[in-house]
A = this chain, B = another copy of it.
Amino acid sequence: MLLSLVVLIITSLSFQAAVVVSSVTPPLQYQHPLDPLTEQEITLVQTIVLKKYPIKRNKLHFHYVGLDDPDKSAILKWQQKYSPKHVAKIIIPRKSFVIAIINTQTHEIVIDLKAKLIVSDNVHKGNGFPTLTSGEQDEAFLLPLKYGPFKASIYKRGLNLSEVVCSDFSVGWYGGETKRKRYVRIECFMKEETANIYVRPINGIFIRVDLEEMKIVEYHDSETVPVPKAENTEYRASNQRPPFGPKQHSITCHQPQGPGFHIDNGHSVSWANWKFHIGFDMRAGAVISLASIYDLEKHKSRRVLYRGFVSELFVPYQDPSEDWYYKTFFDAGEFGFGQSTVSLIPNIDCPPNAQFIDAHFAQADGTPITLKNAICVFEQYGNIMFRHTETIIPNENIAESRSEVNLIVRSVVTVGNYDNILDWEFKASGSIKLGLALSGILEIKGVSIKHKSEIKEDQHGSLLSANTIGVYHDHFYIYHLDLDIDGEYNSFEKTNFKTVRVTDGSSKRKSYWTIETETAKTESDGKVKIGTAALELAVVNPNKQTSVGNVVGYRLIPAPPIHPLLAQDDYPQIRGAFTNNNVWVTPYNRTEKWAGGLYIDESRGEDTIEVWTKKNRDIKNKDIVLWPVLGVHHVPAQEDFPIMPLLSTGFELRPANFFERNPVLKTLSPKTVSWPECPK
């Protein structure tokens, strides 16, 4: 590869300092500007911040260390120019955005990683706190075990302290105006005879921890219901007794031409007609960027998605009692979807033909940690791409079918008890299916009830086993999808279906339907509540037309719609206001990434998509972001216990007049190859 002598400089709009440009430092050349921070970069961030704040370790914690989003226009120019074969290179300033709590103040620090200097350092003054660190949570877990009153409570219950494990829970916000401290509540469980701690809660103990002081600041013990039994709660195969079954047969597969995809430099994926970048962020988890699809007919790559990720996950439980009312979790913002991403198990979480991507992120002290197998990429076979059997042409036997290979990018985010399986499925036909599945363990409330006939009043959950209530709750997800359909200036179209009555005798029909397409002008037009009325939603590029004059676009085929059930004036609903619509559309704004707010721990709903969109900004022919909401109201069933088989939902982004015609018409089914016989 020729090294660049011609270097273009793009100055980030949000960063006025001189840009350091280099075409000779080897690591940079191979780095995509959206690649997550490397271990070295995370260490550099740590060094720079600790140098500025040489204070006691426990007074400085890194809550977020990530890539400071490069200026979008710079990235787009870079993408346009970038080609491994071209000599012209554009260097994007490489910066890190850091959120650190230093002496109880929340700092937002931007660091230039090339210049190795702090560009800005501001203190967040508003409500809400950053994502909890894993480190402080691990510390908080252990506090009760050394706390006298807690030990007394355990002995009083006749339980074995050495079998107790605790976990922390974000406390939400339930009114009150005074400045609050960073609290968590701690609940403890019995691990005796089972790994399935969540189903064995020790009820009735109230523990509040002040995270800055790292001590228990409030403690009550009020309860006497027994801990549910361990019997039949173990989920590990290694701890099951025979007989096992039903049996699944093994399969082994081989791709004689190798995989159909290639991951360049660990993050840049090429597959079939798609190219995209897989990033990773401590808060967002897997991030798909710069997805573009090659148009065989136009002989060029066309942009579809600038960036997409899960912006927030709201999980409000539905038990108003003192032990439960506060459980209204924002899993992405409070616990970090990246920080909570777990290692995928090869051959099980992903099939044997998968390739894995590791992730790195900062621990509370700033030291990088590596998460092996954070994301997997694999091809899936077995579906049909399109087909037709034609029977009416005399003397011709036409049966045309093409089998489909899809590319799946998978990650699993486990926040405490629940496992979220997140799939991005790319199709050569241009569709992207976003699959979302839930597994893991239910949150359980211990009760004295052993049989449904004993239930006299609302238990706020389902009786799953003796003494075991699976509490009702919701899972509301919102995606941030910065679509750039064939360019960044896009519009959001709502197509309404209307019944037309024929009254003039012009037809033997009395009615038919037709459509009326409306372009959303402002953010309030972009708010969609899906009801009984038929509706098609699309993001289009009003500046580009197909040869017959349709605007190019992508449809959103939404998941089955979900609507919030909490009262609008209830605190968690104010914070989780993103659930008020099934779809939102906003103009692209660099800072609007988190639909519940950047600082959502103990937030008061002041930085939500509901608040942003009150400005009612123009969204017509603008760079817009689509925010689909999906999820489930979860009434647990006994089958979800002690561990829950996947419950799946999802939605599709499907090209609609984006291509001139079916873009996979010239895609052949993969050649059938036989299992090779060994020579005798």
Q: Which residues of B contact A232 (CB under 8 A)?
A: 661
Q: Which residues of B contact A157 (CB under 8 A)?
A: none
A-B contact pairs, 8 of them (CB 8 A): A235-B400, A252-B675, A386-B439, A387-B412, A389-B412, A429-B639, A510-B567, A531-B531
**Residues of chain A in range 390-430 having any CB-CB distance to chain B below 8 Å:** 390-394, 396, 398-405, 408, 412, 414, 416-417, 419, 421, 427-430
Q: Which residues of B contact A253 (CB under 8 A)?
A: 251-254, 675
With both chains docked as a complex, state the minimum distance between the C-beta of A366 and any C-beta of chain B, in angstroms: 20
The one of B242, B392, B658, B670 in contact with A248, judged by C-beta atoms closer than 8 angstroms, is: B670
Q: Which residues of B contact A510 (CB under 8 A)?
A: 566-567, 569-571
Interface size on A, residues (CB 8 A): 189
Listed stretches A6-14, A54-62, A512-520; interface member? A512-520
Closest 6 CB pairs of A and B: A452-B549, A320-B507, A678-B678, A511-B567, A249-B260, A246-B272
Q: A349-B401, A668-B248, A675-B254 are in contact. Are A430 and B512 (CB under 8 A)?
A: no
**Residues of chain A in range 453-476 having any CB-CB distance to chain B below 8 Å:** 453, 458, 460, 462-466, 472
A554-565: CB near B (< 8 Å → 1, else 0) gives 010011111101
Q: Which residues of B contact A645 (CB under 8 A)?
A: 385-386, 427, 429, 431, 662, 664
Q: Are A256 and B250 in contact (CB under 8 A)?
A: yes
Q: Are A635 and B515 in contact (CB under 8 A)?
A: yes
Q: Are A244 and B668 in contact (CB under 8 A)?
A: yes
Does chain B have a CB within 8 A of A525?
Answer: no
Taken together as a complex, chains A and B put the C-alpha atoms of A675 and B635 apart, in Å, by: 43
Q: Are A567 and B320 in contact (CB under 8 A)?
A: no
Listed stretches A100-108, A494-502, A609-617; interface member? A494-502
Does chain B have a CB within 8 A of A441?
Answer: yes
Does chain B have a CB within 8 A of A204?
Answer: no
With both chains docked as a complex, state the minimum distance between the C-beta of A635 and any C-beta of chain B, in angstroms: 6
With both chains docked as a complex, state the minimum distance between the C-beta of A139 and any C-beta of chain B, in angstroms: 12
Q: Are A175 and B508 in contact (CB under 8 A)?
A: yes
Does chain B have a CB within 8 A of A167?
Answer: yes
With both chains docked as a complex, state the minimum distance between the C-beta of A678 and any C-beta of chain B, in angstroms: 4
Q: Are A325 and B657 in contact (CB under 8 A)?
A: no
Q: Which residues of B contact A671 (CB under 8 A)?
A: 250
